[in-house]
Amino acid sequence: MLASDRKLPVSGGPEKRAYVREMFTAIAPTYDRLNRIISLRLDQRWRRYGVQRLGWERAPEGMYLDLCAGTLDFGATLARQPGFQGRVVGADFVQRMLRLGRGKSPRLAPVNADALSLPFSDRTFDGAMVGWGVRNLMDLDAGLREAARVLKPGARLVILEMTLPPNPRLRRVYQFYFRRILPWIGRVISKHTTAYTWLPESTQAFPGPDELQRRMEREGFSDVSYQLLLGGVTALHVGTRA
């Protein structure tokens, strides 16, 4: 069996956790470059948009959490906002990803931590963001609950995540890119056989935006809403810690 034919553990559990850790450790050096290429540089624009929805202006000196922070691009986007005087903690369980974020902003502090058991007290943060991270958790609900635990009441959680365009024609065109072209580009540049097959497969297995909204509501968030970006290739969810 080819490594690329391997059945990927998209549905959850410890096997998923182990796969995700191994995979991000392996692809860390090419992660930022590939993000720019496969998203046609839209990833940074979407992070800026996510930061705009965080409501950080209400507490510009506050503490913010970038969850599943990877190379800290989402946290750095907040940390570099003119007028922002607070701190951003970037939590990820892959040290190699965090190391590549060093130097992106002096207001950023990387922390090696699992999103399902964060080393922070209840009600620590004034806001939190997750960029393309929740799809990778072995237990989505536990991750949302943990985010709610560490947020102050009234604080916002912003989630950017992959999804599929609802329009059938657009979805067909996108699926061709997503399932055929993108994995090929990813394999050539990262040299990892499955990481960029994981992306479409884990997106397919992940709840759609309506269900993610319901699950955020169930795990402690109110006023949850979402919007689809670029015809629905990415969704931006925003909720308030009840």
Residues that bind ligand SAM (CB under 6 A): 20, 24, 68-70, 73-74, 92-94, 97, 114-116, 131-133, 136-137
**Closest CB to ligand SAM among residues 74, 196:** 74
Alpha-carbon separation of residue 64 from 14, 125, 200 (angstroms): 28, 5, 30
**Closest CB to ligand SAM among residues 70, 209:** 70
Burial 19-31 (b: 16+ CB within 10 A, else e): bbeebbebbbebb
**Closest CB to ligand SAM among residues 131, 186:** 131
**Closest CB to ligand SAM among residues 78, 115:** 115
CA angle 225, 172, 19 (to 5 degrees): 70
Least distance CB 153 / ligand SAM (angstroms): 24
Q: Concatenate the DSSP letters of all residues of 53-103 into one string.
A: TTTGGGSTTSEEEEET-TTSHHHHHHHTSTT--SEEEEEES-HHHHHHTTT
Cα end-to-end span (Å), the chain = 49
Q: Which residue is nearest to ligand SAM (CB)?
A: 70
Least distance CB 132 / ligand SAM (angstroms): 4
Least distance CB 130 / ligand SAM (angstroms): 7
Least distance CB 219 / ligand SAM (angstroms): 15
Least distance CB 102 / ligand SAM (angstroms): 14
Which ranges constitute the DSSP H helices of 111-181? 140-150, 168-176
**Closest CB to ligand SAM among residues 162, 170:** 162
